[in-house]
Amino acid sequence: MIGVTNLSRHYRMGPTTVKALDSVTFGIQSGEFVAIVGPSGSGKTTLMNILGCLDSPTGGSYILAGEETASLTSDKRAEIRGRRIGFVFQNFNLLPRENSLENVELPMIYQGIPSRVRKERARDMLRKVGLEGRERHVPSELSGGQRQRVAIARALAGDPAIILADEPTGALDTRTGGEIMELFHSLNRDGTTLILVTHDPLIARRARRVIQIQDGKILADVPSGEWTP
């Protein structure tokens, strides 16, 4: 599903070059549940931006679902984001004026899916994340956990190849965070490929595989059972 080879992302800061990502190589199969973990400044956010096609690498290759994405125009990257990637953010990033159903419809609008199909699919997705009956609620009428569920439904709506979750439990209390992790596991059991980016070793351990990043390099890439932070 994902093939990353010698991937680098360098930033020029005046005379010095910062290597946020330094020749990283790994692969992720369809149906995996991977946590990318590392402290702040380790390069995990940079890696997530590139995996999410929000940013382009300065070197190396990134193949997503058979497509090389390393040097694409911003519009082409936008198209791949819409088609292949579902984002889940720490602070949910729902549109405040739109209700749950409309928020879930959003990625499908940009894929040009007709309104009727969109609405039906959005309803299905909300049901899948346990929010049946909340279709007409706007985000301010929902709890934090419910908002994150709407965001997950939105990420699923475009039928993406991977779900990319950036600290998805960071703004939630432990119990609600745990419920969200449960939801991820249940989605993963149904075949969804999940990549979870976090600084929290306890959260990372709940994925099935851990890729640990430090100073722009992979420090460890092991099944979570064998991982010691």
Partner 1 sequence: MKGGAFFENIRMSLRSIAANAVRSFLTALGVMIGTGAVIAMLALGAGAQKSVEASLQSLGSNLLLVYSGQPRGGSLVRRSTTNIVPTLSAEDLEAVRNLGPHLVELAAPESSSGGQAKFAAVNMPVTIVGTGIRYPEIRNVHPILGSFFTEQEADSRKTSVVIGHQVYQELFGGAGDPVGQKIRLNGLGYRVAGVMEPKGSSVTDSSVFIPISTFQRYVSGNPKYALINVRAASAGIMRQAQGAIEKEILRLHRLPNLDAADFYVANQLDLLDTLQGVAGTFTLLLGGIAAISLLVGGIGIMNIMLVSVTERTREIGVRMALGAKSGDIIAQFMTEAIILSVAGGLIGIALGFGASWAFSRFGGLASQVTPLSVALSFGFSVLIGLFFGGYPAYIASRMDPIQALRYE
Which residues form the interface with partner 1 (CB under 8 A)?
Answer: 49, 52, 54-55, 74-75, 78-79, 81-83, 87, 89, 93, 95, 97-98, 106-107, 109-115, 118, 154, 158
Least Å distance between CB 126 and partner 1?
A: 16
Least Å distance between CB 224 and partner 1?
A: 27
Q: Which is nearest to 165 in space by CA: 195, 185, 192, 191?
A: 195
Q: Which is nearest to 186 in space by CA: 163, 160, 215?
A: 163
Half-sphere exposure of 216 (CA within 13 A, CB side): 14
Contact 64, 84 (CB under 8 A): yes
Least Å distance between CB 205 and partner 1?
A: 27
Measured from the CB atom, the residue of 108 and 211 that comes closer to partner 1 is 108
Measured from the CB atom, the residue of 139 and 210 that comes closer to partner 1 is 139
Q: Which is nearest to 67 in space by CA: 76, 59, 75, 58?
A: 76
SS3 114: coil
Least Å distance between CB 18 and partner 1?
A: 16
Q: Which is nearest to 223 in space by CA: 25, 30, 45, 32?
A: 32
Measured from the CB atom, the residue of 147 and 154 that comes closer to partner 1 is 154
Measured from the CB atom, the residue of 18 and 202 that comes closer to partner 1 is 18
Least Å distance between CB 112 and partner 1?
A: 3
Residue type, 38: G
> Per 3-state DSSP, what percentage of the chain is helix, strand, and coil (rounded to 5)?
35, 30, 35
Measured from the CB atom, the residue of 95 and 222 that comes closer to partner 1 is 95
